[in-house]
Structure 1
């Protein structure tokens, strides 16, 4: 359908607002990265305890994202977007005022509750945008996670280096507050597609228990020992709880996650490719900053400060911003499957560049730009594939589950590559560092998983003509909600 001339400016404001919401969520995740070496001193605790500042956000986000997606389908996605802003604001304030590790972990956990903003925003686009703008808009909002991470890292490093660390959290609270105001002003409401359906409390509790066990042993296994009783117990708990959860979800009405939908080849293969893309993306996030910051005395480190390393990586975030709309156009022209395959291949090529030119900061910057270009293409294509294969009543939950699969890939990537980097060490100047061979192995793993993702994506079947109800159901932008500011 043709869009009316007066709708175009408002459409741009909607897309910009939802993209900013994604950037805000990404900033919350990378916020503490510059603080990691100093957290034990800041919080007056051990290094193992301070690691929970990162782990808490990962765990809570893993549980919250699929639940907030389902609630968005039932209660309205705009309402849930606003609901996600609240824990981001409160969590940031708690962290800013924190005097110890417990308060900081609580605040970071609250920030994790708000991480459902990106899948909710993507699902909302399907409800309120005209079809001709959908692919490019999905691509931009999907890539906002990487854009926020790429831009947020050097900004956080600069703030942490030149001011009090507490300003990082006051700034994040202000950012989340601005997002809430913009949502109220510019984002229209849409009818809740699954209004009146029952919320699956048992499914939510079961998924939470299974995911916490899974993410705990994946993220903490190397610290606790893969053969320890704690880790083995968590593995057993994960298998038993998720198996019971799957059995229950398959049989219940109005499930939290409709497993009949997730096992459709188009959805299943997209989610599997998402896990591999998440692994491939995070390998570079672990390796490139360390190579930039290791002392030059190692022979392969470049001796840059945290701030300088962030600035060298900044163009990667800008590339994601530039490539995202191109990915949307490619999806419109050739379909999101082609875009996902291309993204995986570009991501793998980025690791090839890193292996060839890791000896200079410019080489690593170029490699990171190529890697992020591949991530932008892939991240824009995956939600489009998911939403083309699920009913509109499940778009929020399905996008939340896909976001969970990407997060699972990054968690596994962090664990596996982290073990590789920790186990392959060398000594220089009396200190122990990850060896050059270890970093090469990490880069090879990232490239290998990127190629695996491309191979999986190539198997995704076309959307058959026998299911027209699953095709894009977008129409023209609805009239602004009563709460919206007149534009």
Structure 2
């Protein structure tokens, strides 16, 4: 017992401590720029609506690079790919500070999206170091919870820091701050994270990569066009082409000895519910934050609904939600040790569902909205930590990065679909003020549709997780046991 405790301490204080810096930096990248978007738009001479291209470009690139880099990490070493992605992200972050034009800024912003592979690679590194220990699965969950908590804390710190620094520094100097942090994180990984030695070998599936890239380009590109022109025949054609290419991708991968994505892995009883949950979870965690912010800013005196918050006070609402994410991530490992990882995943999904569905009747005051979002945030934080850890525990040792990377990729795809669906929902119908004049606010029925979709997809995710064998994710041998009928 003492030896196990010592190992846990070394893992937490050594490698996990270094990876905390990486994920904290990832959180800063995700939270830092939001308060500065209006300043960036003014600097680039673009309309506020054009900042949506930043998110669209980054989601598109991240959906493509994660499976490729995750597979590469399994092949040549997770540490090497982590360092490479840090280098690319650092270069892109510095380029953002000095980009002279809108196209170059969008390009740098998209390339900065390489940071999305950090979490699956970090979980794979933790799992690789812990997998030979008796409590390896528990150590992986604990480490994942810690680094995800660092990610959420980084998002909070980043948003607060940007709000302060944006008012006292020139824009270019303020944009240098996250670039400097990425550079520091790169140095920490080089100096403090040793190579795990785990290698799957093989080669990159070039044919599969090309088909997957084209499929994701068609899908996400078509969904992005909906924001500009609505659902046109051209959009429908692109989405259908994307779905057809994804079908071709599955056929190609099944016939390849060294696939980019192991379809057999995805069909395992311990894996497919996790990947499906990640897709459904992406709907709320990536798609619902914008509508939450705009609903909070909507003036009830003008349209009869909304909270009428200012840009300053709405940050407290967002802050409460992000803090609840952090708490949920920290509680995940502790609750999994007391109950079971599967039970915690199911409970977390139902918390997300309850929080969003409760917003439908209880959206009339700041107190009720905050309460609902905290409930949803607790479940979301647990899922952010749980999904990559569960995927790592359910996959063979040489495919941990692939499995954890797929949770990020499918979550991104779910978020892309959701952002498009929500954009359509919020403009459906006519939103008019009490004076019968037209308003630019989203419709109340649209917001209720958003909350219903978020809650409904979370309910479906929780139901799917009942298909996971009860012994799943508890120990390395559970991958074999669960798939030979150990559910009872």
Same fold flag (TM > 0.5)? yes
Distance 1:422 1:168 in 2: 34
Which structure 2 residues correspond to residues 382-401 of structure 1 after superposition, within 5 A? 382-401=387-406
Distance 1:361 1:13 in 2: 42
Give the 3 Å change call, closer, same or farther, for CA 394–213 of structure 1 in structure 2: same
* Structure 1 residues 277-326: Cα deviation after superposition (integer angstroms, max 9, x where no partner): 11133454123211222234333333333333123321322222223232
Give the 3 Å change call, closer, same or farther, for CA 188–424 of structure 1 in structure 2: farther
Query: Which consecutive unaligned segments of at least 5 residues does structure 2 have?
Result: 482-488
Cα deviation for residue 104 of structure 1 reads 0.4
- The TM-score normalised by the length of structure 1 is 0.88
Whether the aligned pair in 2 keeps the contact of 1:143 and 1:321 (CA below 8 Å) is: yes
- The TM-score normalised by the length of structure 2 is 0.88
Which structure 2 residues correspond to residues 337-376 of structure 1 after superposition, within 5 A? 337-376=342-381
Distance 1:253 1:16 in 2: 37
Which structure 2 residues correspond to residues 180-191 of structure 1 after superposition, within 5 A? 180-191=186-197
* Residue 57 (str. 1) matches residue 58 (str. 2): yes
Further displaced range: 121-130 or 429-438: 429-438
Residue number in structure 2 paired with 1:480:
none
Cα deviation for residue 423 of structure 1 reads 1.7
Give the 3 Å change call, closer, same or farther, for CA 469–442 of structure 1 in structure 2: closer
Equivalent of 2:416, from 411, 416, 420? 411
* Residue 318 (str. 1) matches residue 319 (str. 2): no
Equivalent of 2:314, from 309, 312, 319? 309
Whether the aligned pair in 2 keeps the contact of 1:425 and 1:438 (CA below 8 Å) is: no
Cα deviation for residue 127 of structure 1 reads 0.9
Cα deviation for residue 225 of structure 1 reads 2.7
Equivalent of 2:282, from 278, 281, 287? 278
Distance 1:6 1:264 in 2: 31
* Residue 292 (str. 1) matches residue 296 (str. 2): yes
Whether the aligned pair in 2 keeps the contact of 1:147 and 1:320 (CA below 8 Å) is: no
Q: Secondary structure at the match of 1:266?
A: coil
Q: Secondary structure at the match of 1:265?
A: coil
* Residue 249 (str. 1) matches residue 253 (str. 2): yes
Further displaced range: 388-397 or 431-440: 431-440
Give the 3 Å change call, closer, same or farther, for CA 17–308 of structure 1 in structure 2: farther
Distance 1:140 1:412 in 2: 29
Q: Secondary structure at the match of 1:190?
A: coil
* Structure 1 residues 331-383: Cα deviation after superposition (integer angstroms, max 9, x where no partner): 23332211110101111222244344423333322222221100112222222
Residue number in structure 2 paired with 1:459:
467
Residue number in structure 2 paired with 1:223:
228
Distance 2:341 2:478 in 1: 18
Residue number in structure 1 paired with 2:239:
235
Q: Could you list the runs of 4 or more consecutive aligned residues of structure 1 that deviate by over 6 angstroms after TM superposition?
A: none
Q: Secondary structure at the match of 2:275?
A: helix
Residue number in structure 1 paired with 2:448:
440
Give the 3 Å change call, closer, same or farther, for CA 252–337 of structure 1 in structure 2: same
* Structure 1 residues 36-87: Cα deviation after superposition (integer angstroms, max 9, x where no partner): 4565533224566543222111111111111111111112111211111112
Which structure 2 residues correspond to residues 102-251 of structure 1 after superposition, within 5 A? 102-129=103-130, 130=133, 131=136, 132-142=138-148, 144-160=150-166, 163-194=169-200, 196-229=201-234, 231-251=235-255
Kindly report the root-mean-square deviation, in angstroms, between the aligned alpha carbons of the 2 structures: 2.8
Residue number in structure 2 paired with 1:97:
98
Aligned length: 470
Cα deviation for residue 35 of structure 1 reads 4.2
Cα deviation for residue 263 of structure 1 reads 1.5
Give the 3 Å change call, closer, same or farther, for CA 68–140 of structure 1 in structure 2: same
Further displaced range: 37-46 or 436-445: 37-46
Which structure 2 residues correspond to residues 80-91 of structure 1 after superposition, within 5 A? 80-91=81-92
Distance 2:393 2:8 in 1: 25
Give the 3 Å change call, closer, same or farther, for CA 4–261 of structure 1 in structure 2: same
